[in-house]
Structure 1
Amino acid sequence: MTTQSGSEYRVDAREGRCTCPDHQYREAECKHIRRIAFATGQRPIPAWVDADEVDAQLGEHVEETPKVAATDGGVTLEEFGGDDRDDDRPEDCDCSPLFEDLACWPCYRDGFETPNPHATGDDE
């Protein structure tokens, strides 16, 4: 992981280890380990976090979807700031409004678990 300051640290998400001084000397869960937990969906992003302030690449290179904590203490599996990603739908998207809860294969393949909200079904 490369930080904003340009420092580089190795994070082992499976073992919960990081090479940063904070983790090495305090043996505490550092911010790098927490970021990995958010990116992999292991830890929900707090509900109070502004979606516009979250790194757009969070969770981009992992299979799991980042989760957002709900105000009732639960979590939602929807993509954090998911509305912003609708423009990233695959070109071969063929979601149909007839299948309200089912994404088409191209969307599902690209990580979208819900159908394209802008699908019109006009391609048929």
Structure 2
Amino acid sequence: MQTTSAERHESTDLEQRDVRALTEYMTTLPVGGDMYSVTTQSGSEYRVDALEGRCTCPDKQYNLKDGELCKHERRVRFATGQWAIPAWIDADEVDAQLGQHVEGTPKVAATDGGVTLASFTTGDDDEDGCWCDDHDFPCFDCYNVGRRDLPGEGE
């Protein structure tokens, strides 16, 4: 049985949110300014205000103290390059579409020995030019044009 980065790394609940922010399938889309739409693999959509530190998810509303970030806020920070990917995360488990839809992603130095977002970009190496055929969850572009449905849709 393969273990996840979270299981191999003794971490706090906040670091667990880092793991989920990096490994769960999520699409991060800029809405304007410092606002982002984060859609999870379950199809839930949350709005993240990266400047003000707000998210519309229940975890942020009910479980976190002021200043603590939910996984959606963390996903935005990783996807935009504001945060480096920690060295302890297993690169094979990072969501391949991390930062895919955020243009002009700044490349930041990984001061903790981790890697930058550029290290996780994937090439389009299959016949139709999309990597998501190898995954259960479609990338935003394939879903948006109707080439692939979310799991459970269209059945």
TM-score of Structure 1 vs Structure 2, range by shorter chain: 0.5 to 0.7
Deviations 1:76-95 (CA, angstroms, capped at 9, x unpaired) = 5471235x4386xxxxxxxx
- 2:60 corresponds to which residue? 23
Cα distance in 2 for residues equivalent to 1:68 and 1:49: 16
Bigger relative CO (Cα 8 Å, ≥ 6 apart): 2
Provide closer, same or farther for how the CA distance between residues 48 and 9 of structure 1 changes in structure 2, counting only shifts above 3 A: same
Q: Measure, in 1, the Cα distance between the counterparts of 2:75 and 2:116.
A: 17
How many residues end up aligned between the 2 structures?
85
Bigger proportion of residues as strand: 2
Runs of 4+ in 1 over 3 A off after TM superposition: 65-70, 74-78, 84-87
Normalised to the residue count of structure 2, the TM-score between the two structures is 0.45
Out of 116, 119, 122, which is 1:80 matched to?
119
Percent identity over the alignment is 62
Distance change (3 Å), C-alpha of 1:20 and 1:9: same
1:47-90 Cα distance to aligned partner (Å, 9 max, x none): 122222111211122212465746xx2555471235x4386xxx
Can you give the 5+ residue segments of structure 1 that lack an aligned partner in the other structure?
A: 88-124
Report the equivalent of 1:2.
Answer: 39
CA root-mean-square deviation: 2.9
Going from structure 1 to structure 2, the CA distance change for 1:32 and 1:58 (only over 3 Å counts) comes to same
CA pair 23-14 structure 1, distance change in 2 beyond 3 A: same
Larger radius of gyration: 1
Q: Which has the higher helix share?
A: 2
